[in-house]
Amino acid sequence: MPANPQVSEIDRQILTLPKGRNKVLLHSCCAPCSGEVMEAMLASGIDYSIYFYNPNIHPKREYEIRKEENIRFAQAHGIDFIDADYDVDNWFERVKGMEWEPERGIRCTECFDMRFERTALYAAENGFDTITSSLGISRWKNMAQINDCGQRAAARYPELVYWTYNWRKGGGSARMIEISKREEFYQQEYCGCIYSLRDTNHHRRQNGREKIEIGVKFYTHDDLKKEENL
């Protein structure tokens, strides 16, 4: 994989995979969350590919924007990008009856299970011995919940493990935002599913804010420059 000069400028810890492992399939939910994870693994010389399977994202326009941003970043780093199905009907069936569950509740567990099960299947069928995800880098997510889902999916295949590395530690969450501003990623304003969009818009209305507009908000270089000059 080709080196990226912007990656080498950061003094990073060298990451090591679980013992005996050497090929990772990274489940990516979006470019902002996966940017730091991708650069961290690249800087450590880890062999990995990206697996984009997120049928939860709604509407389709939001899904396409998030996917294209991730493809753009992967191509810039020379990383293989696997574009999986947008089987949204199966996702709605999977979470049926959980429409009013809160964020981080059982609906999210079901959603993570579905996405990781497909990730694990692809990994087992295509020579990967490790899976992990960028989902846990977000402070809005329950890392224990994500790790449990990932480990449960990987346990279906004896040769596969889920890497539970804490991508937030060592400044990972802060670098995630810095990379997003540097790359001017699309700045999504809700988790992704129709129910999180509904609940986020409800919260915004209660606080006198306009509802979310799809495809409008982006991180900018100017935001990063302002912080550097503080």
Give binding residues for [4Fe-4S] cluster as ranges: 29-30, 108, 111
DSSP structure class, residue 99? T
Closest CA to 121 of 86, 154, 93: 154
CA atoms within 13 A on the CB side of 8: 5
Residue 73 backbone phi and psi in degrees, to 5: -70, -40
What is the amino acid identity at position 220? T
Amino acid identity at 138: S
In sign, the C-alpha dihedral spanning 41, 46, 52, 56 is negative
CB neighbour list of residue 59: distance below 8 Å, 6 or more residues apart: 194, 214
Q: Which two tokens stand for residue 129?
A: 């011995």
Residues making up the binding site: 29-30, 108, 111
